[in-house]
Structure 1
Protein backbone atom coordinates (compact mmCIF):
# COMPACT_ATOMS: atom_id res chain seq x y z
CA UNK A 1 0.00 0.00 0.00
CA UNK A 2 1.43 3.38 -1.00
CA UNK A 3 1.69 6.34 1.35
CA UNK A 4 -1.03 8.22 -0.52
CA UNK A 5 -3.38 5.26 -0.24
CA UNK A 6 -2.67 4.81 3.46
CA UNK A 7 -3.37 8.47 4.09
CA UNK A 8 -6.65 8.35 2.19
CA UNK A 9 -7.75 5.38 4.31
CA UNK A 10 -6.58 6.85 7.61
CA UNK A 11 -8.39 10.14 7.18
CA UNK A 12 -11.88 8.66 6.78
CA UNK A 13 -11.24 6.38 9.78
CA UNK A 14 -10.14 9.36 11.86
CA UNK A 15 -13.15 11.36 10.73
CA UNK A 16 -15.42 8.43 11.64
CA UNK A 17 -13.97 8.25 15.14
CA UNK A 18 -14.49 11.99 15.56
CA UNK A 19 -18.12 11.82 14.43
CA UNK A 20 -18.71 8.83 16.73
CA UNK A 21 -17.38 10.80 19.67
CA UNK A 22 -19.44 13.85 18.76
CA UNK A 23 -22.53 11.66 18.59
CA UNK A 24 -21.83 10.33 22.05
CA UNK A 25 -21.09 13.81 23.42
CA UNK A 26 -24.45 14.92 22.04
CA UNK A 27 -26.14 12.13 24.00
CA UNK A 28 -24.50 13.58 27.11
CA UNK A 29 -25.72 17.07 26.18
CA UNK A 30 -29.26 15.75 25.68
CA UNK A 31 -29.37 14.09 29.10
CA UNK A 32 -27.86 17.07 30.88
CA UNK A 33 -30.15 19.46 29.00
CA UNK A 34 -33.22 17.64 30.23
CA UNK A 35 -31.82 17.62 33.77
CA UNK A 36 -31.07 21.34 33.52
CA UNK A 37 -34.67 22.00 32.50
CA UNK A 38 -35.91 20.17 35.59
CA UNK A 39 -33.32 22.05 37.62
CA UNK A 40 -34.85 25.30 36.40
CA UNK A 41 -38.23 24.07 37.61
CA UNK A 42 -36.63 23.34 40.98
CA UNK A 43 -35.66 27.03 41.22
CA UNK A 44 -39.32 27.96 40.97
CA UNK A 45 -40.40 25.21 43.36
CA UNK A 46 -37.81 25.57 46.11
CA UNK A 47 -36.57 29.10 45.50
CA UNK A 48 -39.87 30.87 44.82
CA UNK A 49 -42.22 28.49 46.65
CA UNK A 50 -44.31 27.81 43.57
CA UNK A 51 -45.61 24.28 43.94
CA UNK A 52 -45.91 22.18 40.77
CA UNK A 53 -49.30 20.80 39.85
CA UNK A 54 -49.79 17.13 38.85
CA UNK A 55 -49.47 17.99 35.15
CA UNK A 56 -46.18 19.78 35.83
CA UNK A 57 -44.86 16.72 37.64
CA UNK A 58 -46.02 14.52 34.78
CA UNK A 59 -44.02 16.65 32.36
CA UNK A 60 -40.93 16.25 34.53
CA UNK A 61 -41.45 12.50 34.47
CA UNK A 62 -41.50 12.42 30.67
CA UNK A 63 -38.38 14.59 30.56
CA UNK A 64 -36.64 12.01 32.70
CA UNK A 65 -37.98 9.17 30.56
CA UNK A 66 -36.78 10.95 27.43
CA UNK A 67 -33.33 11.37 28.97
CA UNK A 68 -33.20 7.66 29.79
CA UNK A 69 -33.03 6.86 26.06
CA UNK A 70 -29.63 8.44 25.35
CA UNK A 71 -28.54 7.47 28.88
CA UNK A 72 -28.96 3.85 27.77
CA UNK A 73 -26.59 4.56 24.88
CA UNK A 74 -24.09 6.19 27.22
CA UNK A 75 -24.22 3.29 29.66
CA UNK A 76 -23.82 0.74 26.87
CA UNK A 77 -20.89 2.63 25.35
CA UNK A 78 -18.91 2.15 28.58
CA UNK A 79 -18.84 -1.59 27.92
CA UNK A 80 -18.06 -1.53 24.21
CA UNK A 81 -19.44 -0.63 20.79
CA UNK A 82 -23.12 0.33 20.55
CA UNK A 83 -25.05 -1.65 17.96
CA UNK A 84 -27.38 0.00 15.46
CA UNK A 85 -30.38 -1.54 17.22
CA UNK A 86 -29.27 -0.21 20.62
CA UNK A 87 -28.61 3.24 19.17
CA UNK A 88 -32.02 3.34 17.47
CA UNK A 89 -33.79 2.06 20.59
CA UNK A 90 -32.20 4.70 22.78
CA UNK A 91 -33.17 7.63 20.61
CA UNK A 92 -36.55 6.02 19.92
CA UNK A 93 -37.28 6.06 23.65
CA UNK A 94 -36.24 9.73 23.70
CA UNK A 95 -38.61 10.61 20.84
CA UNK A 96 -41.64 8.67 22.11
CA UNK A 97 -41.29 10.06 25.64
CA UNK A 98 -40.83 13.61 24.36
CA UNK A 99 -43.87 13.31 22.10
CA UNK A 100 -46.06 12.12 24.97
CA UNK A 101 -44.66 14.84 27.19
CA UNK A 102 -45.43 17.45 24.55
CA UNK A 103 -49.08 16.40 24.54
CA UNK A 104 -49.24 16.91 28.33
CA UNK A 105 -47.60 20.33 28.19
CA UNK A 106 -49.66 21.26 25.13
CA UNK A 107 -52.86 20.33 26.95
CA UNK A 108 -51.84 22.52 29.88
CA UNK A 109 -51.10 25.41 27.53
CA UNK A 110 -54.57 25.09 26.01
CA UNK A 111 -56.13 25.00 29.49
CA UNK A 112 -54.77 28.48 30.23
CA UNK A 113 -54.65 30.04 26.79
CA UNK A 114 -57.94 31.93 26.91
CA UNK A 115 -57.71 35.42 28.52
CA UNK A 116 -58.08 36.61 31.20
CA UNK A 117 -56.70 33.33 32.59
CA UNK A 118 -53.38 34.31 34.25
CA UNK A 119 -51.93 30.84 33.80
CA UNK A 120 -50.52 28.55 36.45
CA UNK A 121 -47.61 29.71 38.63
CA UNK A 122 -44.91 32.14 37.57
CA UNK A 123 -43.42 32.89 34.19
CA UNK A 124 -39.97 33.12 32.65
CA UNK A 125 -39.51 35.75 29.93
CA UNK A 126 -43.27 36.02 29.69
CA UNK A 127 -43.90 32.30 29.20
CA UNK A 128 -45.09 29.88 31.88
CA UNK A 129 -43.05 26.78 32.63
CA UNK A 130 -45.46 24.44 30.85
CA UNK A 131 -45.02 26.50 27.69
CA UNK A 132 -41.25 26.19 28.03
CA UNK A 133 -41.78 22.47 28.58
CA UNK A 134 -43.64 22.24 25.27
CA UNK A 135 -40.77 24.03 23.53
CA UNK A 136 -38.28 21.72 25.23
CA UNK A 137 -40.13 18.58 24.18
CA UNK A 138 -40.49 19.66 20.55
CA UNK A 139 -36.82 20.64 20.40
CA UNK A 140 -35.93 17.26 21.92
CA UNK A 141 -37.94 15.41 19.27
CA UNK A 142 -36.13 17.34 16.54
CA UNK A 143 -32.70 16.68 18.07
CA UNK A 144 -33.35 12.98 18.60
CA UNK A 145 -34.73 12.66 15.08
CA UNK A 146 -31.62 14.24 13.60
CA UNK A 147 -29.51 11.72 15.52
CA UNK A 148 -31.44 8.88 13.94
CA UNK A 149 -31.00 10.40 10.48
CA UNK A 150 -27.26 10.69 11.12
CA UNK A 151 -27.04 7.32 12.85
CA UNK A 152 -24.29 6.09 10.53
CA UNK A 153 -22.00 8.89 11.71
CA UNK A 154 -23.27 9.41 15.25
CA UNK A 155 -23.44 5.79 16.40
CA UNK A 156 -20.70 5.20 19.06
CA UNK A 157 -18.42 2.42 17.92
CA UNK A 158 -15.13 2.42 19.80
CA UNK A 159 -15.17 6.05 20.98
CA UNK A 160 -15.76 5.25 24.64
CA UNK A 161 -12.94 2.71 24.66
CA UNK A 162 -10.41 5.16 23.22
CA UNK A 163 -11.45 8.30 25.11
CA UNK A 164 -10.93 8.43 28.91
CA UNK A 165 -12.75 11.77 28.93
CA UNK A 166 -15.91 10.09 27.62
CA UNK A 167 -15.69 7.36 30.24
CA UNK A 168 -15.37 9.93 33.02
CA UNK A 169 -18.18 12.01 31.53
CA UNK A 170 -20.44 8.95 31.43
CA UNK A 171 -20.09 8.50 35.18
CA UNK A 172 -20.95 12.15 35.82
CA UNK A 173 -23.87 12.30 33.39
CA UNK A 174 -25.49 9.11 34.66
CA UNK A 175 -25.05 10.30 38.26
CA UNK A 176 -26.73 13.63 37.46
CA UNK A 177 -29.66 11.84 35.85
CA UNK A 178 -29.99 9.53 38.86
CA UNK A 179 -29.95 12.53 41.21
CA UNK A 180 -32.78 14.28 39.38
CA UNK A 181 -34.80 11.07 39.13
CA UNK A 182 -34.53 10.42 42.87
CA UNK A 183 -35.00 14.06 43.91
CA UNK A 184 -38.09 14.38 41.72
CA UNK A 185 -39.55 11.24 43.30
CA UNK A 186 -38.90 12.67 46.78
CA UNK A 187 -40.44 16.01 45.80
CA UNK A 188 -43.57 14.23 44.53
CA UNK A 189 -43.87 12.27 47.75
CA UNK A 190 -43.52 15.39 49.90
CA UNK A 191 -46.18 17.18 47.86
CA UNK A 192 -48.66 14.31 47.96
CA UNK A 193 -47.83 12.77 51.31
CA UNK A 194 -49.77 9.59 52.02
CA UNK A 195 -52.87 10.72 50.08
CA UNK A 196 -54.09 8.86 47.03
CA UNK A 197 -54.49 12.03 44.98
CA UNK A 198 -52.61 15.28 44.72
CA UNK A 199 -54.63 18.52 44.59
CA UNK A 200 -54.75 20.26 41.23
CA UNK A 201 -53.42 23.46 42.79
CA UNK A 202 -51.02 22.49 45.61
CA UNK A 203 -50.50 25.05 48.36
CA UNK A 204 -47.86 23.21 50.37
CA UNK A 205 -46.12 19.94 51.10
CA UNK A 206 -48.89 17.70 52.43
CA UNK A 207 -46.42 15.30 54.01
CA UNK A 208 -45.34 18.01 56.45
CA UNK A 209 -48.80 19.51 56.96
CA UNK A 210 -50.19 16.09 57.84
CA UNK A 211 -47.22 15.38 60.06
CA UNK A 212 -47.41 18.59 62.04
Structure 2
Protein backbone atom coordinates (compact mmCIF):
# COMPACT_ATOMS: atom_id res chain seq x y z
CA UNK A 1 0.00 0.00 0.00
CA UNK A 2 1.40 3.41 -0.98
CA UNK A 3 1.73 5.86 1.85
CA UNK A 4 0.30 9.26 1.14
CA UNK A 5 1.72 12.38 2.63
CA UNK A 6 -0.01 15.64 3.09
CA UNK A 7 2.10 18.70 2.23
CA UNK A 8 1.65 21.65 4.45
CA UNK A 9 1.91 24.92 2.61
CA UNK A 10 3.07 27.81 4.69
CA UNK A 11 2.60 31.37 3.61
CA UNK A 12 5.14 33.99 4.60
CA UNK A 13 4.06 36.46 7.19
CA UNK A 14 2.88 39.68 5.71
CA UNK A 15 5.45 42.43 5.73
CA UNK A 16 5.00 44.98 8.52
CA UNK A 17 3.21 48.10 7.45
CA UNK A 18 4.17 51.62 8.35
CA UNK A 19 2.54 53.12 11.41
CA UNK A 20 2.43 56.69 12.64
CA UNK A 21 5.98 56.61 14.04
CA UNK A 22 7.31 55.21 10.75
CA UNK A 23 5.62 57.98 8.78
CA UNK A 24 6.99 60.56 11.21
CA UNK A 25 10.44 59.06 10.73
CA UNK A 26 10.19 59.66 7.00
CA UNK A 27 8.78 63.17 7.49
CA UNK A 28 11.78 63.90 9.72
CA UNK A 29 14.11 62.87 6.89
CA UNK A 30 12.34 65.47 4.74
CA UNK A 31 12.73 68.07 7.50
CA UNK A 32 16.45 67.29 7.82
CA UNK A 33 17.11 67.73 4.10
CA UNK A 34 15.05 70.91 3.84
CA UNK A 35 16.61 72.26 7.04
CA UNK A 36 20.11 71.90 5.60
CA UNK A 37 18.97 73.56 2.39
CA UNK A 38 17.36 76.40 4.36
CA UNK A 39 20.63 76.95 6.24
CA UNK A 40 22.49 77.28 2.96
CA UNK A 41 19.69 79.52 1.70
CA UNK A 42 20.37 81.87 4.63
CA UNK A 43 24.03 81.95 3.59
CA UNK A 44 22.89 82.84 0.06
CA UNK A 45 21.18 85.94 1.47
CA UNK A 46 24.51 87.11 2.90
CA UNK A 47 26.24 86.31 -0.40
CA UNK A 48 23.83 87.60 -3.02
CA UNK A 49 21.87 90.26 -1.11
CA UNK A 50 24.44 91.66 1.32
CA UNK A 51 27.36 91.05 -1.05
CA UNK A 52 29.49 89.17 1.47
CA UNK A 53 31.63 86.72 -0.45
CA UNK A 54 32.13 83.30 1.19
CA UNK A 55 35.68 82.12 1.82
CA UNK A 56 36.89 78.61 0.83
CA UNK A 57 36.17 77.27 4.33
CA UNK A 58 32.63 78.65 4.14
CA UNK A 59 32.06 76.88 0.85
CA UNK A 60 33.50 73.67 2.28
CA UNK A 61 31.00 73.83 5.13
CA UNK A 62 28.16 74.22 2.63
CA UNK A 63 29.37 71.14 0.79
CA UNK A 64 29.38 69.05 3.95
CA UNK A 65 25.86 70.25 4.73
CA UNK A 66 24.78 69.00 1.33
CA UNK A 67 26.63 65.72 1.85
CA UNK A 68 24.94 65.32 5.22
CA UNK A 69 21.55 65.92 3.59
CA UNK A 70 22.39 63.28 1.00
CA UNK A 71 22.02 60.51 3.61
CA UNK A 72 18.34 61.06 4.45
CA UNK A 73 17.76 61.98 0.78
CA UNK A 74 18.80 58.42 -0.07
CA UNK A 75 16.18 57.15 2.38
CA UNK A 76 13.56 59.38 0.77
CA UNK A 77 14.50 58.24 -2.74
CA UNK A 78 14.39 54.57 -1.68
CA UNK A 79 10.98 55.05 -0.06
CA UNK A 80 9.49 56.00 -3.43
CA UNK A 81 10.35 52.55 -4.80
CA UNK A 82 9.14 50.43 -1.89
CA UNK A 83 9.87 49.46 1.67
CA UNK A 84 13.01 50.85 3.32
CA UNK A 85 15.05 48.22 5.14
CA UNK A 86 16.72 48.82 8.50
CA UNK A 87 20.13 48.59 6.81
CA UNK A 88 19.22 51.28 4.26
CA UNK A 89 17.78 53.46 7.00
CA UNK A 90 20.93 53.12 9.13
CA UNK A 91 23.22 53.75 6.16
CA UNK A 92 21.43 56.97 5.28
CA UNK A 93 21.64 58.41 8.76
CA UNK A 94 25.21 57.14 9.11
CA UNK A 95 26.20 59.22 6.09
CA UNK A 96 24.45 62.20 7.67
CA UNK A 97 26.42 61.78 10.91
CA UNK A 98 29.84 61.28 9.32
CA UNK A 99 29.39 64.26 6.97
CA UNK A 100 28.15 66.50 9.79
CA UNK A 101 31.06 65.50 12.03
CA UNK A 102 33.60 66.35 9.35
CA UNK A 103 31.78 69.60 8.60
CA UNK A 104 31.85 70.49 12.29
CA UNK A 105 35.65 70.18 12.33
CA UNK A 106 35.86 72.68 9.45
CA UNK A 107 33.52 75.19 11.08
CA UNK A 108 35.16 74.61 14.47
CA UNK A 109 38.58 75.33 12.97
CA UNK A 110 37.27 78.57 11.48
CA UNK A 111 35.80 79.57 14.84
CA UNK A 112 39.18 79.01 16.50
CA UNK A 113 40.89 81.08 13.80
CA UNK A 114 38.84 84.16 14.81
CA UNK A 115 38.25 83.52 18.50
CA UNK A 116 41.01 85.70 19.92
CA UNK A 117 40.08 89.39 20.33
CA UNK A 118 40.34 91.90 18.74
CA UNK A 119 39.82 89.70 15.65
CA UNK A 120 36.49 90.92 14.20
CA UNK A 121 35.78 87.58 12.50
CA UNK A 122 35.03 86.92 8.86
CA UNK A 123 32.07 88.61 7.16
CA UNK A 124 28.86 89.65 8.87
CA UNK A 125 27.06 88.21 11.87
CA UNK A 126 23.54 87.05 12.71
CA UNK A 127 22.36 87.68 16.29
CA UNK A 128 25.96 88.33 17.26
CA UNK A 129 27.34 85.08 15.82
CA UNK A 130 29.19 84.71 12.52
CA UNK A 131 27.90 82.23 9.96
CA UNK A 132 30.68 79.70 10.64
CA UNK A 133 29.63 79.66 14.29
CA UNK A 134 26.04 79.01 13.24
CA UNK A 135 27.39 76.29 10.94
CA UNK A 136 29.14 74.61 13.89
CA UNK A 137 25.90 74.71 15.88
CA UNK A 138 23.97 73.34 12.89
CA UNK A 139 26.37 70.43 12.45
CA UNK A 140 26.25 69.49 16.15
CA UNK A 141 22.44 69.59 16.18
CA UNK A 142 22.41 67.53 12.99
CA UNK A 143 24.64 64.85 14.54
CA UNK A 144 22.34 64.65 17.56
CA UNK A 145 19.20 64.42 15.41
CA UNK A 146 20.66 61.74 13.15
CA UNK A 147 21.92 59.75 16.14
CA UNK A 148 18.45 59.78 17.73
CA UNK A 149 17.05 58.40 14.47
CA UNK A 150 19.56 55.55 14.59
CA UNK A 151 18.66 54.75 18.18
CA UNK A 152 14.96 54.71 17.22
CA UNK A 153 15.46 52.74 14.00
CA UNK A 154 12.69 50.26 14.81
CA UNK A 155 10.17 53.04 15.44
CA UNK A 156 11.37 55.51 12.78
CA UNK A 157 12.20 53.13 9.93
CA UNK A 158 9.90 54.31 7.09
CA UNK A 159 8.99 50.79 5.86
CA UNK A 160 6.36 51.39 3.15
CA UNK A 161 5.31 54.83 4.43
CA UNK A 162 5.72 56.60 1.08
CA UNK A 163 3.79 53.89 -0.78
CA UNK A 164 0.84 54.04 1.59
CA UNK A 165 0.82 57.83 2.02
CA UNK A 166 0.17 59.90 -1.14
CA UNK A 167 1.34 63.05 0.67
CA UNK A 168 4.72 61.49 1.48
CA UNK A 169 5.08 60.20 -2.06
CA UNK A 170 4.45 63.66 -3.52
CA UNK A 171 6.71 65.34 -0.97
CA UNK A 172 9.58 63.02 -1.90
CA UNK A 173 9.86 64.46 -5.39
CA UNK A 174 9.70 68.03 -4.11
CA UNK A 175 12.31 67.52 -1.40
CA UNK A 176 14.74 65.79 -3.75
CA UNK A 177 14.24 68.57 -6.32
CA UNK A 178 15.02 71.24 -3.71
CA UNK A 179 18.21 69.41 -2.71
CA UNK A 180 19.27 69.08 -6.36
CA UNK A 181 18.66 72.80 -6.85
CA UNK A 182 20.93 73.69 -3.95
CA UNK A 183 23.63 71.28 -5.11
CA UNK A 184 23.68 72.84 -8.57
CA UNK A 185 23.45 76.43 -7.29
CA UNK A 186 26.32 75.84 -4.86
CA UNK A 187 28.49 74.44 -7.64
CA UNK A 188 27.69 77.47 -9.80
CA UNK A 189 28.50 79.85 -6.92
CA UNK A 190 31.85 78.10 -6.37
CA UNK A 191 32.69 78.34 -10.05
CA UNK A 192 31.84 82.04 -10.24
CA UNK A 193 33.98 82.78 -7.18
CA UNK A 194 36.98 80.78 -8.38
CA UNK A 195 36.68 81.06 -12.13
CA UNK A 196 39.21 78.96 -14.03
CA UNK A 197 41.88 79.32 -11.36
CA UNK A 198 43.24 76.36 -9.36
CA UNK A 199 42.84 78.22 -6.07
CA UNK A 200 40.35 80.69 -4.71
CA UNK A 201 41.55 83.65 -2.62
CA UNK A 202 41.25 83.15 1.13
CA UNK A 203 39.38 86.45 1.37
CA UNK A 204 37.55 86.91 -1.95
CA UNK A 205 36.38 90.39 -2.88
CA UNK A 206 34.69 89.64 -6.20
CA UNK A 207 33.48 86.90 -8.49
CA UNK A 208 36.74 85.90 -10.16
CA UNK A 209 34.98 84.53 -13.23
CA UNK A 210 33.49 87.93 -14.08
CA UNK A 211 36.70 89.72 -13.10
CA UNK A 212 38.66 87.66 -15.63
CA UNK A 213 35.92 87.96 -18.24
CA UNK A 214 35.66 91.75 -18.14
TM-score normalised according to structure 1 size: 0.93
Q: CA deviation at 1:158?
A: 1.4
Larger Rg: 2
Shift, 1:41, TM fit: 0.1
Separation (CA, whole Å) in 1 of partners of 2:94 and 2:161: 21
Match of 2:78 among 39, 54, 76: 76
Is the Cα contact below 8 Å between 1:17 and 1:158 reproduced in 2? Answer: no
What is the aligned partner in structure 2 of residue 209 from structure 1? Answer: 211
Counterpart of 1:119?
121
Distance 1:79 1:194 in 2: 40
Q: Which residue is equivalent to 1:163?
A: 165
Contact kept in structure 2, 1:20 and 1:153, CA below 8 Å:
yes
> How far did 1:209 drift?
0.4
Unaligned runs of 5+ in 2: 1-15
Separation in 2 of the partners of 1:174 and 1:211? Answer: 34
Match of 1:148 among 147, 150, 162: 150
Whole-Å Cα distance in 2 between the matches of residues 56 and 17 of structure 1? 40
2-side partners of 1:157 and 1:191: how far apart? 43
Q: Secondary structure at the match of 2:122?
A: coil
Match of 1:133 in 2: 135
Q: Find 1:96's aligned residue among 95, 98, 107.
A: 98
Q: Within 1, Cα distance between the matches of 2:39 and 2:143?
A: 15
Match of 1:56 among 58, 82, 93: 58
Unmatched tracts of structure 1, length 5 or more? 1-12
CA–CA distance in 1 between the matches of 2:169 and 2:182?
21
Q: Compute the TM-score of the two structures, normalised by the length of structure 2.
A: 0.92
Residues of 2 paired with 1:153 and 1:115: CA distance? 47
**RMSD, aligned α-carbons:** 0.9
Task: Give every structure 1 segment of 4 or more consecutive aligned residues whose post-TM-superposition deviation is greater than 2 Å.
Answer: none
Paired position in structure 2 for 1:36: 38
